[in-house]
């Protein structure tokens, strides 16, 4: 099943009024990697909403209140749970868009579930049974990022843990696989393989270009010039949503500065992605 690709039955998962899955429009999950200031969050959300309304792309705003997987102890990790959720709630209320953020520990989940429309499980924690079960019990949509160390059909394990709680509001995110020690590669087979597990698949084109082991502010820490190529390939492979981190001033960003898409370059990329997605969706159900 997992290796055949092709057409498969994919459950429709709703995030608020936004449906994700086969037969539905391409969805964008986007925002700065980590919450820095309220002003940056609101400015980015306003611009994203304007772009997405013009292009008719459903939007879910993403920014992390905490990034626990940093390369050095002194690196900025975010404003923390309380302040981060306050800012995300303000984005949600001000612009009427659903919000997504990661959780790293069970104790954060009750507060996060009060604000977040989607709870995200980070890639390195995608096999943590206790975290998945606690997240699943909230009944919220859960976006599980595939670990760089897992084959696509290995996502059956986190799916089973979430389904164990009775929660089938599951999204799976492809964000690359390890290639050597510091680089990731995108295997486009992962998209149909994970869809064959029964749930919508998100394609994260920005984390794939990060060069791990190099500080994120170092220009050598990422290859963002490849993001458009990856976006086109992921959409052509049939992803249900795109995950693109963006920032109004990437050179000053406090996390993943060398891999995010500048906010002012996002619109033309999304315009092409939507046109391609509409074309791919027009082929669904055709035998040849």
Tens digits of per-residue pLDDT, 134-177? 999 999 999 999 999 999 999 999 999 999 999 999 999 999 99
Mean pLDDT of the 208-220 span: 77
Q: With bands split at pLDDT 50, 70 and 90, how would you rate the model's confidence at 210?
A: confident
pLDDT at 1: 41
Q: What is the rounded distance in angstroms from the CA atom of residue 283 to the CA atom of residue 280? A: 5
Q: What is the pLDDT of residue 182?
A: 80
106 pLDDT above the threshold of 50 = yes
Q: What is the pLDDT of residue 12?
A: 98
| Confidence category of residue 3, pLDDT binned at 50, 70, 90 | very low
User: Rounded mean pLDDT of 205-226?
Assistant: 82
Q: Is the pLDDT of residue 7 over 60?
A: no
Is the pLDDT at 2 greater than 50? The verdict is no
0.85 surpassed by pTM: yes
How much is the pLDDT for 74?
76
What pLDDT sits at residue 72?
Answer: 72
Residue 79: pLDDT over 50: yes
Instruction: Identify the pLDDT of residue 75.
Output: 82
Instruction: Please write the tens of the pLDDT for every residue from 233-262.
Output: 999 999 999 999 999 999 999 988 889 999
Average pLDDT, stretch 80-104?
98
Using the predicted structure, report yes or no on whether residue 6 has a pLDDT greater than 70.
no
pLDDT in tens, 25-69: 999 999 999 999 999 999 999 999 999 999 999 999 999 999 877
Q: Cα separation of 269 and 8, whole Å?
A: 28
For the ranges 70-79, 128-137, 196-205, the lowest mean pLDDT is seen at 70-79
Mean pLDDT of all residues in 222-231: 93
- pLDDT at residue number 269: 98
Q: Indicate the CATH number for domain 22-283.
A: 3.20.20.70
pLDDT at residue 76 in the model = 81
pLDDT band at 71 (very low <50, low <70, confident <90, very high): low
Is residue 5 scored above 80 in pLDDT? no
């Amino acid at each position: 099943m997992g290796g055949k690709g092709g057409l498969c039955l994919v459950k429709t998962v709703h995030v608020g009024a936004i449906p994700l899955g086969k037969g539905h429009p391409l969805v964008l999950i986007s925002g700065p990697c980590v919450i820095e200031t309220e002003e940056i969050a609101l400015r980015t959300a306003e611009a994203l909403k304007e772009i997405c309304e013009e292009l008719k792309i459903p939007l879910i705003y993403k920014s992390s209140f905490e990034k626990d997987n940093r390369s050095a102890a002194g690196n900025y990790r975010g404003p923390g749970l309380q302040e981060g959720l306050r800012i995300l709630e303000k984005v949600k209320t001000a612009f009427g868009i659903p919000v997504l953020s990661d959780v790293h520990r069970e104790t954060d989940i009750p507060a996060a579930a009060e604000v977040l429309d989607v709870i995200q499980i980070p890639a390195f924690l995608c096999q943590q049974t206790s975290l998945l079960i606690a997240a699943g019990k909230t009944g919220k949509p859960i976006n599980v990022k595939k670990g760089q160390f897992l084959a696509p059909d290995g996502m059956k394990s986190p799916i089973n843990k979430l389904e164990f709680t009775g929660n089938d509001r599951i999204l799976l995110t492809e964000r690359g696989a390890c290639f050597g020690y510091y680089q990731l590669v995108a295997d486009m087979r992962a998209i149909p393989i994970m869809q064959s597990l029964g749930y919508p698949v998100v394609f994260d084109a920005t984390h794939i270009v990060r060069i791990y082991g190099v500080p994120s502010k170092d220009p050598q820490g990422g290859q963002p010039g490849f993001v458009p190529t990856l976006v086109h390939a992921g959409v052509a492979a049939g992803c249900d949503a795109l995950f693109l981190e963006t920032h109004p001033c990437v050179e000053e960003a406090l996390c993943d500065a060398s891999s995010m898409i500048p906010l002012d370059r996002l619109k033309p990329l999304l315009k092409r992605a939507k046109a391609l997605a509409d074309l791919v969706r027009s082929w669904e159900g055709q035998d040849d």
